[in-house]
Amino acid sequence: MAMTLLEKILAAHSKFQVVHPGEIIDIEIDTRVARDFGGANVVRNLNNFGLTIKDPDKTFFTFDCNPTGSDQKYAINQHICRLFARDQGIKVYDIDAGIGTHILIEEGYVTPGSTTVSTDSHANILGAIGAFGQGMGDMDIAAAWHDGKVWFKIPPSVRINLEGETPDNVSSKDIILNLLEKFGANSLLGYSIEMYGSCVDNLDVDDRITISSMATEMGAIIILFPPSNEVIEYCSKKSRSKFEPLFADPDAHYDKVFTFDASVFKPMVSRPGEPHDTINVSEVLGTKIDSAFIGSCTNGRMKDMHMVAMILKNRKVAPGVVLKIVPATDEIWKHCLDEGLIKIFKDAGALVSNPGCAGCAAGQVGQNGTGEVTVSTGNRNFPGKQGKGSVYLSSPEVAAASAVAGYITTPDKIPDEPAIFNRPDIPKTSVKKVKSESVFAKDSILEGKVWLIMKDNIDTDMIFHNRYLAITDIKEMGQYTFDNLKGFEDFSKRAKPGDIVVTGKNFGCGSSRQQAVECFASLGIQLIMAESFGAIYERNAINAAFPIITCKDLAEYDIKNGDFIKVNLLTGQIENLRNKLIFKANQFSDVQYEVYRRGGLLGNEMEIPR
């Protein structure tokens, strides 16, 4: 019986000669991959169930989500994976390697007709060379590592014919955006798509990768390209073993067949929020931007880098605009270096990062902030996916041209002079000085329950770890207080508003982070009493109107955890309400009390006594 390309591949990796849509079969998996995102969970599943690895030489880790190791949790997960890999003899493509799916093609692990599973939802990018790739969850990947196979339900297939030649200003990214305009995010949900036609015949490996990478955004299982002679030659040079490319039977059955004239396709962008919300780029020409990103598994290929270099050569990124460029793999990065493209990018004012997922993953470059408008070559622009700003998806050509112009434009419409961010004229009468209100009580006598933490040298990373430094809302800070201080990780859950922290010497040593003070304010802690404070911490607390007081030799005063104490900030007198013992601490200085009373250093203009 005749079969489609996907059915041919899956049948060849099962015990069946013929498979049909709707059937559930076990598939032998040629290449099994876990990334830094999800990899540690794969390891956990394997360890928890006591599972061994079948064919370690077919099993890989790829660290592409956070190749900078800039996130503490990613760094921990990566190290868990490295240790497991050493023990099991598994190869790790570490933080210098790039995007896993691209590496699998470059290194010859994946060839036409082969099968791959990964924790990457865009593993279906391998359809670009006529291979089966599928993103799966941590349990699936653990099962594949152990058994060498997974179960899979055969999807129905759709055939798309693209005829004619695309206009010169239409790229492969524009092709997939045009298709997204026609099909949206769910009309082909759950289908395998196969691409044919004279337009398809002219697409090279990089073009096919770009198109296949957005199958997920179309809701499809995969976008498969029957391998062309160019693709077969490319893979033959890279392959680690001989392979036999597979093709659909001429009389294969497709649930749906669509034919489009590619000659009428237009340069497109996706509006912020939804990849399938695509429109002609002409509808948003002139939209001011703050940043541009070029990279991701969709557009980090060498062809993309060449196109961007042609646009940026002898040009500068517009003032006030940030351009970030991230090649997909280390091989592409090195080619950019050897060919002088890195110099062109840097001379233009771009930031060039090490290879990886970049803008699509929160741990690397490409993220934007609230209110920021970005043009990105990524495959997703869901709210929060590439940051908290607005993201337009586009081709590399449009992204590069827009970065130079300072607004969304096309390469043929780059202005001689870029748009400039003008400082708005704000009438002086519209600027109103507001008196700030401290979140702390202004009483000079405080009474509260003691948290006794008699440790010396509690540093700011123990108080408020650097992994939370991006938090600026005081209301969110309290939950992380002391979560890196051994024995007090649950402090934020147990502490009550009005509590008083009593601690040892050099409290708050370390960094200058204000959050290490403000996290206590977030919880409603009303006072910290220590034998001494780090110099910067002491200034930060005073300037924030947060009450701190120094009392030497605290061990002598029989203070116990849970005691209630009364503190007079002006006199320094302290009374332990349990044993009625009265002792003396350093009273507030005039400056400290004045700042405290005014609600903080910036609360109102003030004179510092000399």
- The two three-digit tokens of residue 173, written as one number: 């990214």
Please, what's the b/e burial string for 221-259 (b: 16 or more CB within 10 A of its CB; e: otherwise)? bbbbbbbbeebbebbeeebeeebebbebeeebbbeeeee
Please determine, looking at this structure, whether the domain spanning 445-598 carries the CATH number 3.20.19.10: yes
CA angle 403, 407, 408 (to 5 degrees): 90
Radius of gyration of the chain (CA): 30
Residue 226's nearest CA partner among 20, 6, 21, 2 is 6
Listed by start position, the domains of the chain span: 5-264, 280-413, 445-598
pLDDT of residue 67: 79
Amino acid at 452: L
- The two three-digit tokens of residue 316, written as one number: 């500068």
Question: Does 5-264 match 445-598 in CATH topology?
Answer: no
List, in sequence order, the alpha helices (H) in 380-448. Answer: 396-405
CA angle 145, 146, 149 (to 5 degrees): 70
Spatial CB neighbours of 529, under 8 Å, sequence gap ≥ 6 = 500, 501, 502, 503, 548, 549, 550, 551, 554, 567, 574, 585
Convert the pLDDT of each residue in 375-391 to its tens digit. 999 998 888 777 889 99
pLDDT of residue 427: 57
Q: Would you say 566 and 575 are in contact if contact means Cβ atoms under 8 Å apart?
A: yes
Dump the DSSP string for 343-367: HHHHHHT-EE--SS-GGGSTTSTT-
pLDDT of residue 69: 67
Spatial CB neighbours of 403, under 8 Å, sequence gap ≥ 6 = 289, 291, 292, 312, 317, 318, 321, 323, 350, 375
Where in 519-609 does DSSP place strands (E)? 527-530, 548-550, 564-568, 573-576, 582-584
Low-confidence ranges of the chain (pLDDT < 50): 429-441, 605-610
The structure tokens 């104490």 sit at 565
Q: Which CATH superfamily is domain 5-264 in?
A: Aconitase, domain 3 (3.30.499.10)
pLDDT of residue 131: 98
Question: What is the CATH class of 280-413?
Answer: alpha beta
